[in-house]
Structure 1
């Protein structure tokens, strides 16, 4: 039986949000964390691992023109942290088009709206921290 040993590269990633494909993305990261701790009782070794709440967070790294296109949808006194919750789809698309993996981040919100540019920068890359309420994979 043959199987594909190729790994996904950045050129295989497609990001969509707010009704359009994002073409000026420079990076994306997201993670699910779950609180866990050892349950200690008699003796020095833990008896079990107890778990608690989950949290979902990450960041989008976009070029300034992409960020300004999103900001153009806002009122003059609003910033990206005021956007209504939205979904972000991150698809890993092999060159042959088969075996696509899509992660959908649900109810995404930006937690910051930063800007930074330095002397001799050729473009502005903006890292936007996000939090979201869940991830579905298909």
Structure 2
């Protein structure tokens, strides 16, 4: 096994860039990578191996309305659902620990919904995304 640091990162340690710009108005980011897997069966009652199928990548980002409006402005025909972008997610601790960067490639927004209620001081917009691949520890 490789040596690794057991450093845990906090929200204050991350920078997230969309379309080449560090986003200040982001409040949440998450992603999931899934792969189809099945047990290959033949003779006997015990499986012989695990087969692997397609991978799917999805997640969500929660942005301030102003960040969403900037994305819409940059999108083809002002349609955020037509925008394709990479998300670069870097963890850079202030204490000098190792910087870790993940790149989510070819992201696209699946849907969006805007809304506010009385007493809100800003609008947060949750954007579910799909993407093609993740490049870990770049």
Calculate the TM-score normalised by the size of structure 1.
0.84
Mapping of residues 1-138 of structure 1, within 5 Å: 5-74=6-75, 78-83=78-83, 85-137=84-136, 138=138
Offset at residue 131 of structure 1 (A) = 1.0
Query: Match of 1:46, SS?
Result: coil
Offset at residue 4 of structure 1 (A) = 5.5
- How many aligned positions are there? 134
Distance 1:50 1:5 in 2: 32
Structure 1 stretches of at least 4 aligned residues deviating more than 4 Å after TM superposition = none
Distance 2:40 2:115 in 1: 44
CA RMSD, Structure 1 to Structure 2 (Å): 2.1
Q: Where in structure 2 are there 5+ consecutive unaligned residues?
A: none
Offset at residue 98 of structure 1 (A) = 4.4
Q: Where in structure 1 are there 5+ consecutive unaligned residues?
A: none
Query: Match of 1:99, SS?
Result: coil
